[in-house]
Structure 1
């Protein structure tokens, strides 16, 4: 199961307003809880516990907060694009404005790592980030992520040149 299987336009939140990392995690916990039918405090606690280990900011304005949740429920991926970047304790000190939230059931094996890896590979190219930042609708974001994932997997020719790994 790839991220595109877990990702729909209803899981894309554009122009989110949050002033702090905690406020954003609280907002996203509430959003995820309403979709999963779980208490938002349970989700927030799991995310904050993960952030205690170290920031989930990836750099280039992107963060990937994630957690495993007890049980065998459904996984979920949410994307929030903030109207204004916030401090997320990123190593590159850039404010974060694109946030992928990944929540995975503990019974889901290594699915969490696979999903996070897929997101990282999909967002590797700076052009991808620019296109997500300029997308006007949740549907446009979904289409873009699907195109990027398909290009990454070789299903369609890449419309964005891959990064030079030499």
Structure 2
């Protein structure tokens, strides 16, 4: 699996301000509506339901919120780079500034897990995260994620 299969440059955004995890989920819902044609309220609700099971802040300033939705035909991603980190109840108690949301069909089994593993592996790399934090252009961020994934696969 490659980033190009789940993430487009249009699904990448830099946010200059975000006040809370709940606000972040609303921003992700709006992005999903504008780029994927999904109902924003359903995306927000699904992300919040999943987050209630346990925080998806994985440490190192990274969060991987994810949810399953009926209206999808395949796994899709949304990426946000926050200018100001927010509290995300991460495992290391550090605020989060890199957010990769995965949205999967209700019926997605192994594909959802493969995508989550790919994103997790990529965002665990400090060099990749440093490059993402140093750039704000969506096309550049997409290229950084794609190249990092390609070099891991090689």
| TM-score, normalization by structure 1 | 0.87
In structure 1, the partner of 2:75 is 75
**Structure 1: gaps of 5 or more residues:** 155-166
Aligned length: 154
The structural deviation recorded for 1:125 is 1.6
Root-mean-square deviation (Å)? 1.4
Could you give the per-residue CA deviations for residues 92-149 of structure 1, whole angstroms, max 9, x where no partner exists? 1111000001101112332111101000111222111111000141111111111111
**Contact kept? 1:36, 1:74, Cα under 8 Å:** no
Indicate yes or no: 2:117 matched with 1:117.
yes
Q: Give the Cα–Cα distance (whole angstroms) in 1 for the partners of residues 148 and 63 of structure 2.
A: 18
**Contact kept? 1:16, 1:82, Cα under 8 Å:** yes
SS in 2 for 1:50: helix
SS in 2 for 1:107: coil
SS in 1 for 2:107: helix
**Contact kept? 2:55, 2:88, Cα under 8 Å:** yes
Indicate yes or no: 2:50 matched with 1:61.
no
Q: Give the Cα–Cα distance (whole angstroms) in 2 for the partners of residues 112 and 124 of structure 1.
A: 18
Q: Give the Cα–Cα distance (whole angstroms) in 2 for the partners of residues 66 and 34 of structure 1.
A: 18
Q: Give the Cα–Cα distance (whole angstroms) in 2 for the partners of residues 149 and 53 of structure 1.
A: 28
Rg larger in structure:
1
**Structure 2: gaps of 5 or more residues:** none
More off after superposition, 134-143 vs 17-26: 134-143
Q: Give the Cα–Cα distance (whole angstroms) in 1 for the partners of residues 90 and 30 of structure 2.
A: 23
The structural deviation recorded for 1:52 is 0.5
In structure 2, the partner of 1:51 is 51
Q: Give the Cα–Cα distance (whole angstroms) in 1 for the partners of residues 72 and 101 of structure 2.
A: 18
Q: Give the Cα–Cα distance (whole angstroms) in 1 for the partners of residues 26 and 74 of structure 2.
A: 20
In structure 2, the partner of 1:164 is none
In structure 2, the partner of 1:89 is 89
SS in 1 for 2:78: strand
Instruction: Please show how residues 1-166 of structure 1 align to structure 2 within 5 Å.
Output: 1-154=1-154
**Contact kept? 1:15, 1:81, Cα under 8 Å:** yes
Q: Give the Cα–Cα distance (whole angstroms) in 1 for the partners of residues 72 and 31 of structure 2.
A: 19
Moved over 4 A (4+): none
**Contact kept? 1:6, 1:76, Cα under 8 Å:** yes
